[in-house]
Amino acid sequence: MTSNENQQPATTSITAGRDGTNSLAPTLSTSSTWSSSGLEESNRQANALHQTGNYSRYANPTVEAFEHAIAELENTQAALAFASGMGAVSSVVLALCSTGDHIVAQRNCYAGTYAFLVGPCARLGIDVTFVDGRNAQEFAAAVRPGKTMLVMAESPSNPHIDLVDLTELGKIKGPFTLVDSTLATPLAQRPHDHGVSIVLHSATKGIAGHNDATLGVIAADLDLISDIWTYSVLHGATASPFDAMNGLRGIRTLDVRLARQSDSAQQLAEWLLTQKNVTGVHYPGLKSHPQHELAVKQMNYFGSVLSFEIAGGKPAASKLLSALKLVRPAVTLGGPETLISHSASSTHNSVDIETKTKTGLTDSLLRLSIGLEACVDIKNDLASALALTN
């Protein structure tokens, strides 16, 4: 979809997803339906795939503008938006998998994805093998030829910030491969360029970027998007035009936000490493991150999210959360405000103990989503609060 091959992604985030009018801001199209000239046109619309001008569950001009922008940024032929990141996850899985099929999935993933795979998928007889995403060979080794429909990865992973080797994943042939690229956003990495079939985002996070939209999106080849679209109109997790408008608005400033957030995250990660009551820091920009070299190879930014381990476990984490004044305890990421969460008891509360242990989801782990405040103020707030947890 890229209009100009030489154009930088930061520029594409400004030029992409224009609706053909001369309006500079996204046009909000609230109509749930459009009239037709008569029976012939109605019949043509009934046979059309993913086209606006008929009924909003099938397609909507504002949502379509957002989808076009994502397809251009991800360098894919097409994209499809959903009511949330989980709307995207569940629609893709159910569009592509049936009873008796098999999925290979990364164990260390977003808790909603994990819950969907161990809950509804198991109930429907879709078999899931979980692997450690840090070792790309494990994905390929778990594939059962003829049975595995989907290989699902997440990079960087939420909340332990592990990476998946996108090139190794892209080499897997047979099943469709999917990368949840939420923590990277389309500007930090492009999984489809590595041969990955489907790129998925919770656009609720960095893409919309202002904590004012609940939105999901996938980007892939047109044929695959059309197949998933055919199922998705029945599933009904349709993106709201208002949220798609905020998603598109967010894309316009994504590069400057991500640059600022990544810069602050790097400084804070390095500073946290030197704090005596911090026992570990997970951020791909750190030389001490076990996958730092891979991060340099496949990422343009290291992202807005880091996690760290606090000495003293859950009681110390609890003290820290209460002592912070600027940094707020909350469970999303990628927005303007710096947020902190104790993953094991909040976002990942539902994950079973065995999986928590295997994926490093300890009681000491705190996830920080770095916002747009001056870095020094975030640091001062963390320093004051950390001093109280000694």
Ligand X SMILES: *Cc1c(COP(=O)(O)O)cnc(C)c1O
Contacts with ligand X by CB under 6 A lie at 84-86, 110, 112-113, 154, 158, 180, 182-183, 202, 204-205, 214, 216
The residue (of 180 and 255) whose beta carbon lies closer to ligand X is: 180
What does the H/E/C string look like for 319-378?
Answer: HHHHHCCCCEECCCCCCCCCEEEEHHHCCCCCCCHHHHHHCCCCCCEEEEECCCCCHHHH
The residue (of 17 and 216) whose beta carbon lies closer to ligand X is: 216
Question: Which tokens sit at 258?
Answer: 């991500």
Q: How far is 69 from 217, CA to CA, in rounded Å?
A: 11
Min dist CB 352 to ligand X, Å, is 19
Query: Looking up tokens 């290291």, which residue turns up?
Result: 302
Q: Which residues of 21-35 are buried (b: 16+ CB within 10 A; e: fewer)?
A: eeeeebeebeeeeee
Min dist CB 95 to ligand X, Å, is 17
Q: How far is 182 from 293, CA to CA, in rounded Å?
A: 20
The residue (of 190 and 205) whose beta carbon lies closer to ligand X is: 205
Question: Which tokens sit at 140?
Answer: 């390929």
The residue (of 278 and 340) whose beta carbon lies closer to ligand X is: 340
Min dist CB 83 to ligand X, Å, is 8
The residue (of 183 and 295) whose beta carbon lies closer to ligand X is: 183
CA 233, 185, 305, 280 dihedral sign is: positive
Phi, psi dihedral angles at 224 (to 5 degrees): -70, -40
The residue (of 68 and 205) whose beta carbon lies closer to ligand X is: 205
Min dist CB 277 to ligand X, Å, is 27
In the complex, which residue's CB is closest to ligand X? 85
The residue (of 159 and 170) whose beta carbon lies closer to ligand X is: 159
Q: Which of 245, 253, 239 is nearest to 209 (CA)?
A: 253
Do residues 278 and 309 lie in contact, with contact meaning Cβ atoms separated by under 8 Å? yes
> In the chain, what's the furthest Cα-to-Cα distance?
74
CA 67, 221, 156, 127 dihedral sign is: positive
Give the angle 281-369-366 at the CA atoms, nearest 5°.
45
The residue (of 87 and 285) whose beta carbon lies closer to ligand X is: 87
Q: How far is 173 from 215, CA to CA, in rounded Å?
A: 30
The residue (of 176 and 278) whose beta carbon lies closer to ligand X is: 176
Do residues 368 and 340 lie in contact, with contact meaning Cβ atoms separated by under 8 Å? yes
The residue (of 202 and 262) whose beta carbon lies closer to ligand X is: 202
CA distances from 123 to 98, 119, 126, 146, 189 (A): 11, 6, 8, 21, 34
Please name the amino acid found at residue 51. Answer: Q
Spatial neighbors of 15 by CB under 8 A, at least 6 apart, are: 3, 7
